[in-house]
Amino acid sequence: MRLGAVIITMGDRPGELRALIDSVLRQNGDPVEIVVVGNGAPVGAVPDGVRTVELPENLGIPGGRNVGIEAFGTVGSDVDALLFLDDDGLLPHTDTAELIRGAFAADPVLGIVSFRITDPETGLTQRRHVPRLRASDPLRSSRVTTFLGGASAVRTKVLAEVGALPGGFFYAHEETDLAWRALDAGWMIDYRADMVLNHPTMPPSRHAVYHRMVARNRVWLARRNLPAVVVPFYLGVWVLLTLVRRPSLSALKAWFGGFREGWATPCGPRRPMKWRTVWRLTRLGRPPVI
**Can you give the pLDDT at residue 76?**
53
Nearest to 214 by CA among 249, 242, 244, 182: 242
5: left (phi > 0), else alpha (psi -120 to 50), else beta? beta
CA distance linking residue 23 with residue 7, whole number of Å: 12
The proportion of the chain whose per-residue pLDDT surpasses 90, expressed as a percent, equals: 93
Rounded to two decimals, what is the model's pTM? 0.96
Please report which confidence band the pLDDT of residue 15 belongs to, taking 50, 70 and 90 as the band edges: very high
Supply the mean pLDDT for the chain. 95
User: What is the number of residues in the chain?
Assistant: 290
Interstrand relation of 151-155 and 142-144 (parallel, antiparallel or unpaired) = unpaired
Model confidence pLDDT, tens digit, residues 124-150: 999 999 999 999 999 999 999 999 999
Interstrand relation of 3-9 and 81-86 (parallel, antiparallel or unpaired) = parallel
Quickly count: other Cβ atoms within 10 Å of residue 92's Cβ. 13
**Can you give the pLDDT at residue 159?**
96
Does residue 25 contact residue 32 with C-beta atoms inside 8 Å? yes
Does residue 184 contact residue 277 with C-beta atoms inside 8 Å? yes
CA distance linking residue 135 with residue 143, whole number of Å: 13
Model confidence pLDDT, tens digit, residues 157-202: 999 999 999 999 999 999 999 999 999 999 999 999 999 999 998 7
The proportion of the chain whose per-residue pLDDT surpasses 70, expressed as a percent, equals: 97
Model confidence pLDDT, tens digit, residues 201-218: 877 755 568 999 999 999
CA distance linking residue 92 with residue 23, whole number of Å: 7
SS3 string, the chain, reads CCEEEEEEECCCCHHHHHHHHHHHHCCCCCCCEEEEEECCCCCCCCCCCCEEEECCCCCHHHHHHHHHHHHHCCCCCCCCEEEEEECCCECCCCCHHHHHHHHHHHCCCEEEEEEEEECCCCCCCCHHHCCCCCCCCCCCCEEECCCCCCEEEEEHHHHHHHCCCCHHHCCCCHHHHHHHHHHHCCCEEEEEEEEEEECCCCCHHHCCCHHHHHHHHHHHHHHHHCCCCCHHHHHHHHHHHHHHCCCCHHHHHHHHHHHHHHHHCCCCCCCCCCHHHHHHHHHCCCCCCC
Please say whether the dihedral angle defined by the alpha carbons of residues 191, 196, 201 and 207, taken in this order, is positive or negative.
Answer: negative
CATH 1.25.10.10 fits 3-202, yes or no: no
For the chain, the domains span 3-202, 209-268
Nearest to 117 by CA among 231, 234, 199, 32: 199
CA distance linking residue 164 with residue 179, whole number of Å: 11
Does residue 129 contact residue 148 with C-beta atoms inside 8 Å? yes
